Amino acid sequence: MRRIRVVGDGFDPAAEAEALQAGRVDVGATVSFVGYCRGEAGTLAALELEHFPGMAEAEMERIAIEAERRWPLLGVAIVHRHGLVRPGEPIVAVATASAHRAAAFAGAEFIMDFLKTDAPFWKREHRRDQVADPTSPDGWVAAKPGDDAARSRWPEG
């Protein structure tokens, strides 16, 4: 089972892992990751998420297929928000199901690492104090070098 969605409104991140396991007795483990919009100590009003419609879904699907190829996964779900997201709201949910825990954990981590660097989404900060971040005067969040490092810890192939 593969569930891939880009959504413009709030969503229930807990529903994804449950959907992968519902009605099955071959799933021994699910791992669910949820990424949330943080308030940055009260300075952030909202994050605005721009995306490339069509390519975003295609890239999420490609990442899911690659995870299924690398580990014996019985299900993968990826949901990503676009639009305006407030502190405390979910941005992304990734869930994996497998017979055993190692594959479920590795699959979910792999998908998150690749989503960060390869899925066409861009975050812009709307700050509560109207004071621009000096490292990003136009509000667009800069990519983190750590994200490239996280991606490259997975061997090719």
Partner 1 sequence: MRALYFAWVRERVGLAEEEIAPPPGVDTVGAVMAWLSGRGDNYAAAFAQPGTVRAALDRRHAKPDVAIAGAREIAFFPPMTGG
Tokens describing residue 88: 């405390």
Phi, psi of 82, deg, nearest 5: -130, 175
Phi, psi of 98, deg, nearest 5: -155, 170
91 touches partner 1 (CB under 8 A): yes
> What's the CA gap between 95 and 77, in Å, rounded?
5
Q: Closer CB to a copy of itself, residue 51 or residue 116?
A: 116
| CA triple 82-85-87, angle to 5 deg | 150
- Binding site partner of 143, from a copy of itself, partner 1, none, Cβ cut-off 5-8 A by kind: partner 1
Which H helix or E strand runs over 31?
Answer: strand 29-36
Binding residue for partner 1, selected from 22, 58, 102, 132, defined by CB under 8 A: 58
Stretch that binds partner 1, among 15-23, 65-73, 102-110, 140-148 (CB under 8 A): 140-148
Stretch that binds a copy of itself, among 2-10, 18-26, 64-72, 125-133 (CB under 8 A): 18-26
Residue whose pair of structure tokens reads 């099955």 in the numeric block: 24
DSSP 8-state code for residue 72: -
Smallest distance, a copy of itself to C-beta of residue 66, A: 18
Non-local (6+) Cβ contacts of 155 within 8 A are none
Q: Closer CB to a copy of itself, residue 38 or residue 55?
A: 38
Q: Which residues bind partner 1 (CB under 8 A)?
A: 35, 49-52, 54-55, 58-59, 80, 91-92, 112, 115-124, 138, 140-144, 147
Q: Which residues bind a copy of itself (CB under 8 A)?
A: 14-15, 17-18, 21, 23-39, 87-88, 99, 101-102, 104-105, 108-109, 112, 150
